[in-house]
Amino acid sequence: MVAEVPLLRLEGISKSFGKVQANSEVSLSLSAGRILALLGENGAGKSTLMAILAGQLQPDDGSIVLDGEEVRFTSTEKAIGAGIGMVYQHFKLVEAMSVAENVSLGKKEGVWLRKGDMHHKVARLAEQYGMRVDPGARVGDLSMGEKQQVEILKLLHRQSRILIFDEPTAVLTPAEAENLFATMRLMAGQGKGIIFISHKLEEVMSVADDIAVLRRGRVVAAMPASAVTSTGALAECMVGREVLLQVDRQPLEPRQIVLKVAQLSDFGLGDISFELRQGEILGLVGVAGNGQKQLVETICGLRRPQDNAVRLLGLDWAQFFRNPSWERTLAYVPEDRQGLATCQGLSLLDNFLLTTSAGFTRGPWLQRGLAAEKARRLMEEFDIRPADLAAQAWQLSGGNLQKMVLAREFYRKPRLIVAEQPTQGLDIAAAEDVWKLLLEAREAAGILLVTGDLAEAMALSDHIGVMYRGRLVGLFAVDDEEKVALIPQMMAGLA
């Protein structure tokens, strides 16, 4: 009996960046009609490996074998031409164009297609894969789940046979995530190979056929999903120790008000009002694009609200931001860790000093040596890799960059914390550490937790607020079971 030739094989792939070994002799196989979940800690080498497969990077050693023949992708165009496509966390769409125009963009014959023919082709493709998206709709008007469907349709239109999904559910409602998994299963059923990168182990167990685990650039396990006994066992395989992702949230006595929002109606927001006290965590949930960004930017000083709509630590907005202190004040952990939280071209030490430099200044002098000593201690405590203060921010994986931002902001001992998607892209062990840090920080601070992860919100929050189309459509205690059951409907605007 002749053994089946895998659709894709990676053989002995190695890649280093200076002294950092991102991948070391990685070998993996993907069969047609199978979903392979690729797991690993932050900095384990997943993104580098997928960048090599997608033609964005070249390996130092090893080979890519497609349909039994060795190939070399010297550009993303060559990888796409060979049938390899990637759905990124941050969608690459033209918001002002229609669905059909985005799907056809980049296809050489697309310029000559009549509008009706273009719409018909996209509609037929969407129907074939069970997607409900209007080919004539403007992309800027779509939900995050619908935008993701457009990204998938782009790859299907290009006849991609291997599809890579990088943290695809980070911006989806639970219902949209289920729709995505149904589409993935349908694509696999039609013979396509799918690589699925996720830190949500329950999702992995529900959708994957096979699982591969990377640790520090090497494959430490590869198995059928049916051989995995539990998410706990999978987490332990990833990080090399037991991880429970459970926290003991003991309610604290709420103290003084640290944040008060009263009838805020600027920037597309509709009459938002709430209070946050020291000792509390308010979890704000909702699909991305429903006003969370505008609300957070207003609270954190990036947008000026109308008079008396926002008070922070007992001061009105203008007073607070006129001369803010560097410590025991507001700490903002933004979702955009690469564009807003850090400067990609600066060293990790300089990034640490972005919000802490006042604490290391004596007269006109900046005590860089003392700052470096504190920063090294934090890097060890937060397990930031590589632990090199001279490394530039762009050299860190997304998860390690997030840990660096969290270390910097918690060092400031804040009294009000706005944490926007604080564990997005973090591995399960790092997420567990962040959860514990947030709960500890409640002792001295009130925390506004903006997250799309319902499990995270339920585990950490004292109260839950649900955002939809710029309004706070629900605000209730986390132990209100009747309201909690309605959260998915509220997020979708159905309740």
- Which has more pLDDT, 339 or 107? 339
- Which has more pLDDT, 399 or 334? 334
Q: Is the pLDDT of residue 213 over 60?
A: yes
* pLDDT winner (highest mean) among 127-131, 446-450, 484-488: 446-450
- Which has more pLDDT, 82 or 402? 82
Q: What is the pLDDT of residue 314?
A: 93
Q: Residue 107 — pLDDT band, cuts 50, 70, 90?
A: low
* pLDDT winner (highest mean) among 20-24, 137-141, 231-235, 463-467: 463-467
Lowest mean pLDDT among 194-198, 240-244, 314-318, 322-326: 240-244
pLDDT digits (tens, 9 = 90+) for 215-267: 889 999 999 999 998 888 888 888 777 766 667 788 888 899 999 999 999 88
Please measure the distance between the N-terminal and C-terminal CA atoms of the chain and give it in whole angstroms: 57
Q: What is the pLDDT of residue 245?
A: 61
Bridge pairing between strands 61-66 and 84-87: unpaired
Work out the percent of the chain whose per-residue pLDDT is above 70: 96
Q: Are 371 and 353 in contact (CB under 8 A)?
A: yes
All domains of the chain in start order, with CATH: 8-239 (3.40.50.300), 247-329+412-495 (3.40.50.300), 344-411 (no CATH)
Bridge pairing between strands 315-316 and 35-40: unpaired
Lowest mean pLDDT among 122-136, 346-360, 371-385: 122-136
Query: 71 CB contacts (<8 Å, ≥6 apart)?
Result: 64, 65, 82
Query: What is the average pLDDT across 206-221?
Result: 93
**The two three-digit tokens of residue 350, written as one number:** 């300089």
Q: What is the pLDDT of residue 172?
A: 73
Cα 452 from chain centroid? 10
Q: What is the pLDDT of residue 2?
A: 45
- Which has more pLDDT, 429 or 442? 442
Q: What is the pLDDT of residue 290?
A: 87
pLDDT digits (tens, 9 = 90+) for 8-56: 999 999 999 887 789 999 999 999 999 999 998 877 889 899 999 999 9
* Cα dihedral value 112, 117, 123, 128, nearest 10: -90
CB atoms within 10 A of CB 434: 22
pLDDT digits (tens, 9 = 90+) for 147-188: 888 988 998 888 899 999 988 887 677 777 888 899 999 999
How far is Cα 61 from Cα 13, in angstroms, rounded to an integer?
6
Q: Residue 366 — pLDDT band, cuts 50, 70, 90?
A: very high
Q: Is the pLDDT of residue 1 over 50?
A: no
Query: What is the average pLDDT across 311-334?
Result: 93
Q: Is the pLDDT of residue 201 over 80?
A: yes
CA neighbor of 398 nearest in space, from 374, 420, 422, 378: 422
pLDDT digits (tens, 9 = 90+) for 111-132: 455 777 888 888 988 888 888 8
Q: Is the pTM of this model over 0.85?
A: no
pLDDT digits (tens, 9 = 90+) for 267-306: 889 999 999 999 999 999 987 778 898 999 999 999 999 8
Q: What is the CA radius of gyration of the chain?
A: 24
pLDDT digits (tens, 9 = 90+) for 70-82: 999 999 899 999 9
Q: What is the pLDDT of residue 127?
A: 87
* Average pLDDT in the chain: 88
Query: What is the average pLDDT across 384-392?
Result: 88
Q: What is the pLDDT of residue 256?
A: 94
